[in-house]
Structure 1
């Protein structure tokens, strides 16, 4: 099985974490008799050898051994190896139905960063140059197309997939059809085999995989696969069981929407309810999983994973048809079956994040799930409501009731803020205030608390004394000083609670130079003092002392807000515009100069130079400042038009400036009107999402409307 593996010079190769000398151990682990060792090995292959879809020389060298393992009859868990091979081979245009959210966890898919990171309170939707460059896909020597080599290698071995479609292991038969379609070079032969297997296959889950493969065949091969469309239409008819019909309708929606029935939504809802009545409540036994990423994902899978996949396929294929998707969600959320309703909640997450629409009814129905006795359903509902912010208002009554019911256990020093309470605060509901007060009365305050308070506005004023007290208790030299202090400072700044100036100054004057994230904390402190305005005059001497250091720009902005004296802070800000200085500092300096306005006229040459920067975020910040300082739209509007096109993350910054420009911004209002007419959220993207994407999009739409009204 591993003939020749020790003859490969693995030590000379690399994977995501350096030397690939451990790859033979991972490959052998895939053939271990112990389930946990096999799972750990597969996790290692994804985590290192095929890290985030990358292809390394060690990935290429592994392919022959993976094919040998996949073809070894009787070896357990070969379905996962087939999926790994397919992933290494990559995808083509048309293979566009992704299952990145199959776990239904509702969390961010951009890594472990906290949703309430230090950037949350001031998040403007502009994250620099993230839209300037594509995926480098390097993972090796420049000029060597390892992804293309991997695809060619998997294609060369695709004959094995023909055999695996009839393998004795159902998991292998589930994984093989899509791999066969993607990599085999004879579509007619593949179509004939899939059709034969649909007739003879006894396993329902495998039959669904075969239907998905038919849809993929059409997407990849177009009109040459027309018989596959006819087969899907036939499978969607009343002669077949509900699950198969749902699968066929989902594939038709993705590849031949014109062949869908006119009464699609009622048909799907009816099939869904019929299918649910036939499912055995007990479901499949839970498989023991190792402490790996794959094991965690397996444990988070929906109770009815097959149903989740069927409906997810249909929802994704319907795309911008939000009316149909809302109607479908309502049908799902009114089901008597808990798993159906749970799947509907997770389906709603993708809809809300990607598309704009009138979501009051489905959100209210999601709120109804908070009263369920099923913990999994309640947790799913809370996860979705958390990222909706003000759009969660139709569910606020249910959230408030859930928050009230959990008051007995609140304020016990938990590491995380109670999630229903967080969701209630984020939608700006004042009923969160008493519960947040309970949390703040305990010395150990979850870090998210301060950020959540920031969304409550003036309603949170009664919390200010408690925030001040907790800030006074933050140690000055702890490894988590920043993590504890920054959220509290953010909330105090939002509330403009000037009585806390002594506690804020204690931090500014007392934190040691070696403190972790010291500069970041100084910036947050300065922002808080700036938010206090003239009420923070006691901090002026300390802020002046920072004008010549690393935090000169933050100190200058705070001094400007506290004293209103532009002349004193201009030298520091002009110096920060130097092209040799830090790019982030230049952008912050430009923003501060914009707030100063006409009195910052000496900065115009530097801002004009900065407006020609290679970085779109820097250009955008400079253009905004050019307007605010110089009042000339000539050099500003071309920058706006280009940045709007190149990087969607700049749009909120641009639109906020257009609001200030009034009629002077009219020449680019076509961008604003196009944005308002677009059904898709401006941050929507494949392969990931951020916790604040919906909020930022709603704020963008608000500013777009205001900009047009201000013209």
Structure 2
């Protein structure tokens, strides 16, 4: 199985955390007789070798050994390895996501896809494997990689007729839907099969799966009364539900173990709902009604499924979600740990939208002190989900609890990034934050990891008394320290926000380092001397590094008219190939020169090219007032768009909802400021 593994020069390869010399141990661990070791090895593969979907040279070198693992029936838990291999090959991408050719943009991804395709014949044998978990994982990989449509379709239909495991039948139905989307010229038999499954008596789960797949590949075949049909099938399924026995899994403090514990007991029901919600798309009212019906179900499993489905709805669409969020908050009182954990996980990413659930969050954190900190098998602890969600909602009840956590022997690694959202009451935490920053050693490999979150929090609180502790880092951190430059940049930013003039000499010395832009911006905020900062910012405008050019332009925009001498360089940046560089330069040019005519075309093009630029542009439009009127159709359209600007298939960020809500506020401000300016001009 591992023939030749020791002949591979793993030490010359890399993964997300450096040298890949530990990869052979991970691969061997996947075949271990010990379930704990198998889970830790799979967690390591996803965490390092295939980190966040990335493909490294070491990932490519693993592919032959992963194929050997899934081909050996003596290896337990091969279903997870099949899923890993399919993910490495890009097997999670669906044509309906609009990202079908994403792998071609990266040589490693393209080579991984080719390598998995070359060995895809093994997936045909796995659809009849004795392990049902392997059979569940096989259909997607088979459809995605085998490349023989007639053979694939025949196998799917044959297995659907013979398979007795309900969960595998569901996977086969999903495989038919994926086949129809991948091979539209050969889709008709697959669609016919799905139509029959969707109309057949019995098996409400399979009927739901078929209807969901039809919605994505052949919506013209859906029943006219889709929503009531779906609701009735869900009720029928709940009445008949017998959650199948899951394979016994180890209790490990790995990310995989944590995610598994978060998953609902009825994973099949969760998948069915995910498919249905995807099919309903922008019919937000129907989706909210469906969620509310499930969130009030007497069955905890149904409620758990609804909680997970709500996350996608909240991330993708704009609406009033007070009622479903309130109902999710009520799940925090449940005895079912999976249900509570699912509710917390969803509420964490809602920020201010979690306010309707704040009372329940506060009750949970008070009743369960152990929930305030999350400990991991590897690395520093993090802030517990309930307390994080409560603080991010801006609830002042989080502040005394955060104070208790700050006094623990080991501070959660992310607490400083959460505190800025806790509202005005968080200023009471400044003395504790200063004390913890004073405890950070200046010459440790952990200096940056420990100091950066604390600097973020102190900067957000504007605690001027923290300046001496911040300056200690600037003066004493040695050269060659890991992440020294980001650490100094964080310190320089904090010094500017703290407003203490004692920091001016230190910031002047930083003008000649790699964090010159941050130092210049902070120095400007403290003494308003353009002669002190313009040389450094002008120099950085021509840096070979795009992020430094953008940062310099942004800083010059803060100077305003005193930076007028840099306007020719800023105008040249308007022609950059990088949309962010153009956007940042346009904002700066407006603030420096007031030349709206030059920047409006840049803003319109960037707004349409990259949705992520919209928050920056909307904020600048609010400054333009009536001068931005030719672009007011853009924020108007955004305010009427029901879909969040960061909504995308195949991934999401923890701050997507927050940043979309911030964009909406900026758009409303831009439109209103434009109206007020027009009224003033008219008067």
Question: Under TM normalisation by the shorter chain, which class is it?
Answer: 0.7 to 0.9
Q: 2:655 matched to which residue of 1?
A: 692
Distance 1:200 1:641, change over 3 A: same
Q: What whole-Å deviation, never above 9, does each CA across 1:129-151 have from its counterpart, x for those lacking one?
A: xxxx98632129xxxx6467447
2:414 paired with 1:445: no
Summarize the alignment of residues 604-643 of structure 1 with structure 2, pairs less than 5 Å apart: 604-643=567-606
Could you list the runs of 5+ residues in structure 1 that have no partner in the other structure? 99-132
1:153 to 111, 118, 124: 118
Partner SS state of residue 654, structure 2: coil
Partner SS state of residue 336, structure 1: coil
Contact 1:273 1:335 in 2 (8 A): no
Q: What whole-Å deviation, never above 9, does each CA across 1:586-637 have from its counterpart, x for those lacking one?
A: 3222222211111211121222233333333222221111100001023222
Alpha-carbon distance, 1:45 to partner: 8.2
Contact 1:97 1:317 in 2 (8 A): no
Deviates more, 1:684-693 or 1:220-229: 220-229
Summarize the alignment of residues 614-693 of structure 1 with structure 2, pairs less than 5 Å apart: 614-693=577-656
Q: 1:538 matched to which residue of 2?
A: 502
Q: 2:223 matched to which residue of 1?
A: 261
1:705 to 664, 668, 682: 668
Summarize the alignment of residues 174-193 of structure 1 with structure 2, pairs less than 5 Å apart: 174-182=136-144, 187=149, 191=153
d(CA) in 2 for partners of 1:506, 1:92: 48
Distance 1:243 1:14, change over 3 A: farther
d(CA) in 2 for partners of 1:24, 1:459: 51
Q: 1:454 matched to which residue of 2?
A: 420
d(CA) in 1 for partners of 2:494, 2:59: 50
Q: 2:678 matched to which residue of 1?
A: none
Q: 1:222 matched to which residue of 2?
A: 184
1:251 to 213, 217, 237: 213
d(CA) in 2 for partners of 1:651, 1:215: 35
Q: What whole-Å deviation, never above 9, does each CA across 1:223-263 have from its counterpart, x for those lacking one?
A: 64334334323322361222212212221222223333344
2:429 paired with 1:463: yes
CA root-mean-square deviation: 4.2
Q: 1:526 matched to which residue of 2?
A: 492
Q: 1:139 matched to which residue of 2?
A: 108
Q: 1:554 matched to which residue of 2?
A: 518
Contact 1:16 1:48 in 2 (8 A): no
Contact 2:93 2:650 in 1 (8 A): no
Distance 1:44 1:564, change over 3 A: closer
**Larger RCO, structure (CA 8 Å, separation 6 or more):** 1
Taking structure 2 as the reference length, the TM-score comes to 0.83
Alpha-carbon distance, 1:462 to partner: 3.0
1:400 to 362, 374, 386: 362
Taking structure 1 as the reference length, the TM-score comes to 0.80
Q: 1:600 matched to which residue of 2?
A: 563
2:271 paired with 1:316: no
d(CA) in 1 for partners of 2:586, 2:661: 24
Partner SS state of residue 555, structure 2: helix
d(CA) in 1 for partners of 2:370, 2:28: 52
Q: What whole-Å deviation, never above 9, does each CA across 1:461-520 have from its counterpart, x for those lacking one?
A: 333343344444444444433333333333333333334444444444444445443333
2:455 paired with 1:489: yes
Q: 1:204 matched to which residue of 2?
A: 166
Partner SS state of residue 286, structure 1: coil
Contact 1:387 1:694 in 2 (8 A): yes
Deviates more, 1:361-370 or 1:169-178: 169-178
Q: 1:345 matched to which residue of 2?
A: 307
Q: 1:129 matched to which residue of 2?
A: none
2:531 paired with 1:567: yes
Q: What whole-Å deviation, never above 9, does each CA across 1:93-134 have from its counterpart, x for those lacking one?
A: 855489xxxxxxxxxxxxxxxxxxxxxxxxxxxxxxxxxx98
Distance 1:97 1:177, change over 3 A: farther
Q: 2:540 matched to which residue of 1?
A: 576
Contact 1:10 1:20 in 2 (8 A): no
Alpha-carbon distance, 1:188 to partner: 5.8
d(CA) in 2 for partners of 1:562, 1:586: 22
d(CA) in 2 for partners of 1:547, 1:88: 44
Q: 2:238 matched to which residue of 1?
A: 276
d(CA) in 2 for partners of 1:466, 1:42: 39
d(CA) in 1 for partners of 2:418, 2:606: 31
Distance 1:695 1:282, change over 3 A: same
Q: What whole-Å deviation, never above 9, does each CA across 1:194-235 have from its counterpart, x for those lacking one?
A: 445434432222222222222223223336433433432332
Could you list the runs of 5+ residues in structure 2 that have no partner in the other structure? 675-683
Contact 1:443 1:470 in 2 (8 A): no
Residues paired across the two proteins, number:
664
d(CA) in 1 for partners of 2:594, 2:425: 37
Distance 1:352 1:548, change over 3 A: same
